[in-house]
Chain A
Amino acid sequence: MNIFRYSDGVLTSDMVPVCEKGTVCYDLPARYIGGIIGYGDEVLDFVTYRTAEDVQRVKDIKAKIIAGTATQTERAEFLAGMIGYYGASDMNRVEYNVSRIVQFYIDIKAYIESFSALSEVELEYDLIPHFNSSVLSVTVKTDWKMADIPTNAHSVRYANNAKVFRKTDINFVRTAVPSSLDKLTFNSANAIEQELKNAYEAAIAFRNAAETAIVSAKSNYIFSGEIYGGEYQ
């Protein structure tokens, strides 16, 4: 089976497409089969719905634990993790998602370019990502633990990472991502993940549009020997 290795950045002979009438078929990595939506399953859920009540809920339960009046259920709720505070799981999720979406953007760009080239379909300008993949160079840390104490450098890097997709030409709705995690509010925490979600979904839409255009163009191809006399007018 031919493996299309985008990350190598080199097209090799084993990537020659196998085309049949009316369809476009390539041997692609499994994650691309059926579109990149399959790949998107690797992105963790975005938490964009924290509220002031969630924040207050944490405070209330903490006060009860300190006072010794918390129920077993409340204590269990606290220990299980609550969305009203920021913790290691939040940071790991966001950092992981940043890394996955960065790779997703890089892959989409390579995928569309290669798909377009291999299928010999010249896509419209707006359907091709033109960003330089190097703009998406990020450092992530995905092993945050409860014992960790984020530094200011971590905090600024983390917030900047969430905004990295603004450097590409895939348009999406931007949110009020803070410049660091200093004095973070539930709204700001939501904004970070909403930005990532928007960037991710915009990339999917972009890919789908390009893919649809290619498939549509290829399905209209007229293959040699297909038209007989009198058939085509």
Chain B
Amino acid sequence: MGETVRELCFDGTAEGCGMSVKLKYGDIALGADDRATAVSHSAEVFCDLSKIPYGTDDAYIYAALESGLWALDGSVKVRRNEVIPFWSAEISDENGDFSTVPSIAVTLSQQISSSGITIIASGDCLPSKIRLRWMRGAASLETMEIVPSENQIICNHAVENYDGLVVEILGTALPFRRARIDCIMFGINRTFTRETLSAVQIIQEIDPSSRMLAAGILDFDVFEKNVDFIFQRKQVVTAYDGDRLMGVFYLKEADRNTVSRYGIECTDIIGLMDDEPYPDTVFQGVTAYEAAAQICRRSTVYMDDGLKSIPISGILKGKSYRQALQQLCLSICAVATTWGTDGIIIRSLPELGDAEELNEDRIRVDASMKKRDIITMVRVTSHSYSRTGSGTPIRINGEDWYDTEAVVSIVNPDTSEQDQNNVIEVKDGTLISPERAGIVADHIMQHGRKRGSMNFKFRLDSESIGDAVSVVTPWNTRVTGHIVKASIVLSGIMVSDTEVVG
């Protein structure tokens, strides 16, 4: 799939290409930030050294009266209560030297290995030289000095099984400057571009009926001779089309095929949510947004406004976080995706009347059409939980709950007597309350009635998974539906192998 297109851009020039693939890979020792404690005796009193392992998103230069720092170009902010990880209390002298070298000592609660260290020096305060000392207990394992040339200071040096790091700022590149360090990362953020990448593919999928929740996938190969990667599960890989964020993924598996070739498989946060069991929970009097925030606790939730206030009641027991999210989506008739975001988008699918027409010049070869079996009926079981009742109770946090079930059925009006019985049965939607059951059944039926499925390849622009599009078929008819699957080859032109159901 997409071989021709990929080769065109990999071997050609960037001119005329609609996008350029870029993968930012956090080759960072997992969990090191949470295990790290930074201490310094040379920091300004307002510094918060606990932020050193995490850094700040704040790239501003803050006003101070050091020589030449406060540029009068409108870029310098006066500090209010912003978190400053580390500013040295002392200012360097005319030659950029300190009388007492500022240092930060980071201890780790357990040993880690990393392929390098990244230090982010703040704004206008480039150190002239930094000394790094890796520690194991009180013993110094290795020492290295770096002369930085930019604020992101990368030390490409793999060290294994250390539990401490001492960073000394030996001087500043400019005279009369504080040492300012925003972040010390136990690893290196690397950016892979088309020069080192091949076979980059993203697959995103949704189930419009909300009965399934697919995880996004990113696969790629890296060719790199000069770096020994320590690929670790759950390391972050962020995919970009030029500057456009395509998605955030987490390393699942890495194979070293040759000395210089690595094959990488990643999943998105939804895939990662499979790994952890969701605590047994009773939802009562919470909104869909509150429930989503609980379930997607490590991600920002971007939810359609129309969904946010839907009341959620029910029980989740013995589920993973991903299953919990799927249950929530089912009860509010929504889909969840990580397409083009750093969080999780929970949305309703748009009406088909608003479908975007894809022009023929964007549609490529390989279109095919198929008809799915007709669905004759949808049956949804609702669940109502109370503290009293009969049958086997469900024990949640020491409390017994009793489930009262009810069934709502909807028959497909498009069916005839000749149609084979094909019933969609939803029994285990434990967040589907009696008030929601009819809505959910109708929602499933609405999507079940869309039987046409078209697979085609088109040049992706601003479309997103779940969008309504109208596509001309090769036989000059038109299919209107939602994009339910996109398999994107990231190359010179972003081509999506797409499935539209309509």
Q: Give A contacts to B, CB under 8 Å.
A: 50, 52, 54-55, 58-59, 61-62, 65-66, 78-79, 81-82, 84-88, 91, 144-152, 154-155, 180-186, 188-189
Contact = CB atoms under 8 A, between A and B. Distances in A.
Nearest to B80: A152
28 contacts: A50-B72, A52-B73, A62-B174, A66-B126, A66-B174, A79-B175, A81-B67, A85-B67, A85-B68, A85-B70, A86-B72, A86-B76, A144-B65, A145-B65, A146-B66, A146-B176, A147-B66, A148-B64, A149-B44, A150-B64, A150-B65, A151-B79, A151-B80, A152-B79, A183-B75, A183-B76, A183-B77, A189-B72
Interface in B338-370: none
A121 to B, nearest CB: 48
A65 B63 contact: no
A65 B175 contact: yes
Given A66-B126, A79-B67, A186-B73, 9 more contacts: A55-B73, A58-B71, A81-B67, A82-B68, A86-B76, A146-B65, A154-B78, A182-B78, A183-B75
A85 B71 contact: yes
B40 to A, nearest CB: 17
Q: Which 8 A-B pairs have the closest CB atoms?
A: A86-B70, A186-B72, A88-B65, A155-B78, A66-B173, A185-B74, A182-B78, A149-B64
A182 B175 CA distance: 24
Nearest to B87: A149
A88 B69 CA distance: 11
A91 B464 CA distance: 52
Given A66-B173, A183-B77, A149 B70 contact: no
Contacts of B77: 182-183
Interface in B211-234: none
A152 to B, nearest CB: 5
Contacts, number: 100
A20 B124 CA distance: 67
B72 A79 contact: no
Contacts of A181: 63, 78
Nearest to B64: A149
B67 A146 contact: yes
B175 A150 contact: no
Contacts of A182: 63, 77-78
Contacts of B71: 55, 58-59, 84-85
Interface residues of B, number: 28
B93 to A, nearest CB: 11
A152 B46 CA distance: 14
B426 to A, nearest CB: 55
Given A147-B91, A151-B79, A184 B74 contact: yes
A186 B73 CA distance: 7
A149 B174 CA distance: 18
Contacts of B94: 79
Interface of B: 44, 62-80, 91, 94, 124, 126, 173-176
Contact of B63 (A84, A150, A188): A150
A185 B175 CA distance: 23
Contact of A62 (B63, B65, B68, B79): B68
Given A144-B65, A147-B65, A152 B70 contact: no
Contact of B76 (A62, A78, A148, A184): A184
Contacts of B79: 149, 151-152
B72 A185 contact: yes
B72 A65 contact: no
Contacts of A54: 72
A184 B72 contact: yes
A87 B69 CA distance: 8
Contact of B174 (A65, A144, A180): A65
B396 to A, nearest CB: 49
Contacts of B124: 62
Nearest to B65: A88
A213 to B, nearest CB: 42
B86 to A, nearest CB: 14
Contacts of B174: 62, 65-66
B69 A85 contact: yes
A151 B79 CA distance: 6
Contacts of B67: 78-79, 81, 85, 87, 146
Contact of B78 (A87, A152, A185): A152
Nearest to A152: B80
Given A58-B71, A180-B78, A189-B72, A149 B175 contact: no
A184 B77 CA distance: 8
A55 B72 contact: yes
Contacts of B78: 150-152, 154-155, 180-182
B288 to A, nearest CB: 39
B174 to A, nearest CB: 6
A78 B175 CA distance: 9
A182 B176 CA distance: 22
Contacts of A82: 68
A149 B69 CA distance: 11
